[in-house]
Amino acid sequence: MSKIFTSLTLLLLLPLAAMAAEPKRELLWPAGAPGAKGEAENDKPVVTIYLADGANKTDCGVVVLPGGGYGHLALGHEGVDIAKWYNSFGVSAFVVEYRHSGKGYAHPAPMQDAQRAIRMVRAGAKEFGVSPDKIGVMGFSAGGHLASTVATHFDGGDAQSADPIARVSSRPDFAILCYPVIAFDQPFTHRGSQRNLIGQNPDPELVKSLSNELQVTSDTPPTFLFHTSEDTGVPPQNSIVFYEALQKAKVPAEMHIFAKGRHGVGLAANIPGTNAWPKLCEAWMEGLGVLSTKPAAAK
């Protein structure tokens, strides 16, 4: 009896945030993804939903796109770990397992999945406890390319669609790009990502369209970027050219290039200096005004 009492007491003393619901996996396209090649698991992209809880819960949600060169997904340190980090300061996270070449898919499937995830969160804002105008996108490496793609290629939705998710905008309200792949057909391009996404000999117009530094406009959402000088896999010039394009278009932006860290550092917990980026990112989000603890009514 005493053991049961002790266990119950400890449970009651747990922080509210630690008692958040278990993550939930949902199909992005319940009726079937566009261009699906079959009915196997690889043909059914999913999103894992990590809803924030507790006294510090905000009305902000972020769609997270792990990296992996468009050939696999780094779901651990660029997915699950990131979702838990967001939950720690009250932000709900939505980790997307998008289609890629390792699953037999190339462009436009990854973009379609990422756009769908943003629409899904916005359409379900009330259910998820987030505001429809505080939905961001975050991507790492090739996932950063995908995040920069949806930040520069978006639409307001199809008002005539029978699908309520398809009716809402796919534009993220802000973007966070972590050591992103950005430019194609440049000396600093990550060739593996380009090849996996658009093939060995792509149409030059497609290359231009997906060189996202060339697609920035004044409608591109505010953006936070971080990179490292030691990144030889995806050199920091990728972040630099995107930042310069944002500046030219007068889009609010912040960029940090740290001295230390190979490609793929994730939260960079054990890298002095570079491990400052999560707090800097949180402060940037605070400055944007997206970390309110009073959820707005869904539109």
Dump pLDDT digits (tens) for 140-161. 999 999 999 999 999 999 999 9
**pLDDT bracket for residue 17 (50, 70, 90):** very low
Quick check: 73 pLDDT over 60?
yes
Quick check: 49 pLDDT over 80?
yes
> Cα–Cα distance between 190 and 171 in angstroms, integer?
25
Q: Are 103 and 152 in contact (CB under 8 A)?
A: no
Q: Is 46 helix (H, G, I), strand (E, B) or coil?
A: strand
**pLDDT bracket for residue 295 (50, 70, 90):** very low
> Cα–Cα distance between 13 and 16 in angstroms, integer?
9
Dump pLDDT digits (tens) for 225-274. 999 999 999 999 999 999 999 999 999 999 999 999 999 999 999 999 99
Dump pLDDT digits (tens) for 80-136. 999 999 999 999 999 999 999 999 999 999 999 999 999 999 999 999 999 999 999
Domains of the chain by range and CATH? 22-288 (3.40.50.1820)
> Cα–Cα distance between 85 and 10 in angstroms, integer?
24
> Cα–Cα distance between 218 and 252 in angstroms, integer?
10
> Cα–Cα distance between 250 and 132 in angstroms, integer?
24
Write down the mean pLDDT value for the chain: 92
User: pTM (2 decimals)?
Assistant: 0.91
All residues at 6 or more sequence positions from 22 whose CB lies less than 8 Å from its CB, including other chains: none
